[in-house]
């Protein structure tokens, strides 16, 4: 595929098509489709001024694209001298300019992604200029918009803003044949696995849901049999991650690409090259084509803990991505004789060199994250370093008679309302924001390196604090 569009996202395959000039953008099938979508949007939202301009030509879908190409090469007066076809549009240049601005804003409201395949025969880019490709495309989109706008406006702008107008994130994709062509999981053969992720902050996503409900029941048989025979593997991407001490493969449908990318701030990313051919401990398929609820199952024959979630609006929330992975890991920990903990753990280094480990246990909303933040704020110079081992789920393990605490996540999935004023702005460069203008707005932000959260931290009886709502 060259590109895929959805209700709120555009995925462009840079390995197959990569525009190197303004004219290539204007000639691209993706540009034409987004323009057609915008015209429908204008009529749907009943934008009277925009409609009046659109109806000044006979075939808006084609005629305006032709006009954009002319404006790329000629000024308004030259176009008028060449043909009177666009005289009416160009006479109302203020309205026409507003139409262009509206289209530009419409494009930027999409979640925009690029995928690049490490091994490809296409005419696009490869790994060698993975990072450069996103920057070049962003600059080219900005240049195209400005060039046409300034032609209509009649002069250059006084203020220029280097907005992320190209893509918000890019994925370098490779293959992982961990189960081969035969066996229970052969339907995942030749799956597309993420090798690198590039994010252009601020990264903001919107989902159909803004909170999670319900539980994940255990299935009596492997739930993959509901859909494996009809599984369209080329519509999924695989994010390989460390969840605690376990290796997890998360297959998510491209419709939920924003959730998949957000994983990089929460669970330690494992590049495809580092887990090639390895069997996962945990397997999660998010957005599978079946009717029913989200379930988990322990495949004892292959020793894989399997979770599935159906492809529908009810699971379109990052919390459903996070909690199933934690469920799979916690079940695995329990069966191994360890104790999962819903709470928070910090390792504190005092200014005098002493170390203290504190565990806070409590229900959601009891104040665990807020307490950790308050501790850091009020302790001041008495604390030289504070490491968050976990702030949601962790694990206690008995290691040679000592109880040690281990983390599961490298990041935190937190409610903006629970954070101090200005917190979101401080984390703008690193955090991934979700539904920021809605109730229960969230952000996902990195907190601690993976090597630190799995070291194991001694906890004593008097280091526990229990919180109740």
Convert the pLDDT of each residue in 33-44 to its tens digit.
999 999 999 999
Closest of 170, 163, 189 to residue 178, by C-alpha: 189
3-state secondary structure of 418: helix
Q: Are residues 318 and 460 in the same domain?
A: no
Q: What is the mean pLDDT of residues 248-260?
A: 97
Q: Which of 319, 335, 351 is the last residue of a domain?
A: 335
**Does any domain span residue 184?**
no
Closest of 390, 392, 376, 395 to residue 448, by C-alpha: 390
**Does any domain span residue 360?**
yes
Better-predicted residue by pLDDT, 232 or 162: 232
**Could you give the C-alpha distances from 288 to 294, 297, 429, 455, in angstroms and in order?**
10, 15, 32, 35
The residues, ordered by sequence, that sit 6+ positions from 222 with a Cβ below 8 Å of its Cβ are 184, 297, 299, 306
State the Cα–Cα distance between residues 356 and 439, nearest whole angstrom.
36
Share of the chain above pLDDT 90, in %: 70
Share of the chain above pLDDT 70, in %: 93
Q: Are residues 11 and 117 in the same domain?
A: yes
**Does any domain span residue 431?**
no
Q: What is the mean pLDDT of residues 419-424?
A: 65
State the Cα–Cα distance between residues 12 and 246, nearest whole angstrom.
32
Check pLDDT > 60 for residue 124.
no
Q: Are residues 124 and 106 in the same domain?
A: yes
- Residue 154 has a pLDDT of 87
Rounded to the nearest angstrom, the gap between the alpha carbon of residue 244 and the centroid of all alpha carbons in its chain is 21
Residue 134 main-chain phi, psi, to 5 deg: -65, -45
State the Cα–Cα distance between residues 100 and 116, nearest whole angstrom.
30
State the Cα–Cα distance between residues 277 and 375, nearest whole angstrom.
44
State the Cα–Cα distance between residues 75 and 150, nearest whole angstrom.
9
State the Cα–Cα distance between residues 339 and 19, nearest whole angstrom.
53
**Does any domain span residue 275?**
yes
State the Cα–Cα distance between residues 320 and 293, nearest whole angstrom.
12
Structure tokens at 384: 């030289």
Q: Are residues 260 and 366 in the same domain?
A: no
State the Cα–Cα distance between residues 46 and 41, nearest whole angstrom.
8
Q: Which of 278, 313, 335 is the last residue of a domain?
A: 335
Rounded to the nearest angstrom, the gap between the alpha carbon of residue 225 and the centroid of all alpha carbons in its chain is 28
**Does any domain span residue 269?**
yes
The residues, ordered by sequence, that sit 6+ positions from 39 with a Cβ below 8 Å of its Cβ are 54, 60, 61
Domain count, the chain: 3
**Between the ranges 259-273, 372-386, 451-465, where is the mean pLDDT highest?**
259-273
Closest of 443, 384, 433, 374 to residue 411, by C-alpha: 443
Contact of 255 with 6, CB cutoff 8 Å: yes
Query: Is the overall model pTM greater than 0.85, yes or no?
Result: yes
How confident is the prediction for the chain on average, in pLDDT?
A: 90
Check pLDDT > 70 for residue 233.
yes
Better-predicted residue by pLDDT, 157 or 89: 89
Could you read off the pLDDT of 15-24 as tens digits, one per residue? 899 999 999 9
Contact of 86 with 57, CB cutoff 8 Å: yes
Contact of 406 with 395, CB cutoff 8 Å: yes
- Residue 369 has a pLDDT of 67
Q: What is the mean pLDDT of residues 340-354?
A: 88
The residues, ordered by sequence, that sit 6+ positions from 55 with a Cβ below 8 Å of its Cβ are none
Structure tokens at 412: 């935190």
**Does any domain span residue 200?**
no
SS (H, E, C) 289-346: CCCCCCEEEEECCCCEEEEEEECCHHHCCHHHHHHHHHHHHHHHHHHCCCEEEEEEEE
Residue recorded with tokens 């665990």:
368
Q: Are residues 34 and 142 in the same domain?
A: yes
∠ CA 284-110-313, nearest 5°, is: 40
Q: Are residues 142 and 263 in the same domain?
A: no
Q: Are residues 363 and 262 in the same domain?
A: no
Check pLDDT > 60 for residue 120.
no
Tell me, what DSSP letter sits at residue 215? -
Q: Are residues 87 and 26 in the same domain?
A: yes
Q: Are residues 22 and 119 in the same domain?
A: yes
Q: Are residues 328 and 403 in the same domain?
A: no
3-state secondary structure of 100: helix
Check pLDDT > 50 for residue 121.
no
Q: Are residues 16 and 123 in the same domain?
A: yes
Dihedral angle of Cα 323, 328, 334, 340, to the nearest 10 degrees:
-20
- Residue 414 has a pLDDT of 86
Question: What long-range pairs does 31-38 form, CB within 8 A, spacing at least 24?
Answer: 31/65, 32/61, 32/65, 33/5, 34/5, 34/10, 34/106, 34/107, 34/110, 35/61, 35/64, 35/65, 35/103, 36/61, 37/5, 37/106, 38/102, 38/103, 38/106, 38/107
Phi-psi region of 31 (alpha: psi -120 to 50; beta: other; left: phi over 0): alpha
| Containing structural domain, residue 389 | 339-410+447-467
**Does any domain span residue 295?**
yes
**Does any domain span residue 173?**
no
State the Cα–Cα distance between residues 100 and 433, nearest whole angstrom.
28
Q: Are residues 244 and 356 in the same domain?
A: no
Q: Which of 269, 301, 335 is the last residue of a domain?
A: 335
Provide the residue count of the chain.
469
């Amino acid at each position: 595929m060259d590109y895929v569009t959805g209700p709120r996202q555009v995925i462009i395959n840079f390995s197959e098509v990569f525009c190197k000039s303004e004219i290539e953008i204007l000639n691209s099938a993706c540009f034409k489709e987004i323009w057609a979508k915008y015209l429908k949007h204008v009529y749907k939202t009943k934008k009277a001024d925009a409609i009046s301009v659109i109806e000044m030509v006979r075939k808006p879908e084609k005629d305006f694209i032709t006009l954009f190409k002319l404006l790329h090469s000629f000024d308004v007066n030259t176009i008028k001298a060449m043909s009177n076809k666009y005289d009416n549009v160009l006479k109302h240049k203020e309205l026409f300019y507003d139409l262009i601005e509206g289209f530009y804003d419409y494009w930027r409201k999409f979640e925009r992604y690029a995928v690049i395949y490490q091994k490809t025969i296409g005419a696009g880019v490869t790994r060698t200029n993975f990072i450069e490709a996103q920057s070049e495309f962003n600059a080219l989109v900005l240049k195209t918009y400005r060039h046409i706008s300034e032609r209509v406006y009649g002069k250059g702008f006084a203020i220029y803003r280097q907005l992320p107008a190209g893509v918000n994130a890019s994925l370098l994709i490779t293959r992982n044949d961990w189960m081969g062509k035969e066996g229970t999981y052969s339907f995942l053969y030749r799956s597309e696995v993420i090798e690198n992720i590039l994010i252009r902050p601020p990264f903001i996503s919107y989902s159909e849901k803004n909170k999670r409900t319900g539980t994940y029941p255990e299935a009596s048989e492997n739930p993959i049999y509901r859909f494996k025979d009809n599984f369209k593997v080329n519509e999924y991407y695989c994010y390989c991650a460390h969840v605690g001490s376990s290796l997890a493969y998360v297959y998510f449908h491209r419709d939920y690409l924003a959730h998949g990318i957000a994983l990089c701030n929460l669970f330690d990313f494992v590049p495809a090259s580092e887990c090639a051919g390895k069997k996962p401990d945990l397997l999660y398929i998010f957005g599978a084509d079946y009717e029913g609820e989200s379930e988990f199952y322990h495949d004892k024959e292959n020793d894989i803990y399997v979770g599935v979630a159906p492809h529908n609006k009810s699971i379109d929330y990052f919390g459903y991505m996070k909690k199933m992975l934690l469920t799979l890991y916690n079940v695995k920990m329990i069966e191994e004789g360890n104790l999962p903990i819903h709470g928070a753990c910090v390792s504190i280094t005092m200014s005098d060199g002493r170390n203290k480990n504190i565990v806070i246990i409590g229900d959601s909303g009891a104040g665990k994250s807020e307490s950790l933040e308050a501790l850091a704020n009020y302790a001041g110079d008495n604390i030289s370093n504070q490491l968050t081992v976990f702030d949601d789920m962790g694990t206690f393990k008995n290691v040679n008679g000592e109880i040690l605490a281990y983390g599961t996540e490298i990041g935190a999935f937190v409610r903006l309302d629970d954070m101090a004023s200005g917190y979101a702005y401080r984390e703008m460069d690193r955090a991934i924001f979700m539904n920021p203008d809605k109730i229960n707005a969230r952000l996902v932000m990195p907190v601690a390196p993976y090597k630190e959260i799995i070291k194991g931290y001694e906890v004593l009886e008097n280091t526990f604090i229990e919180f109740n709502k």
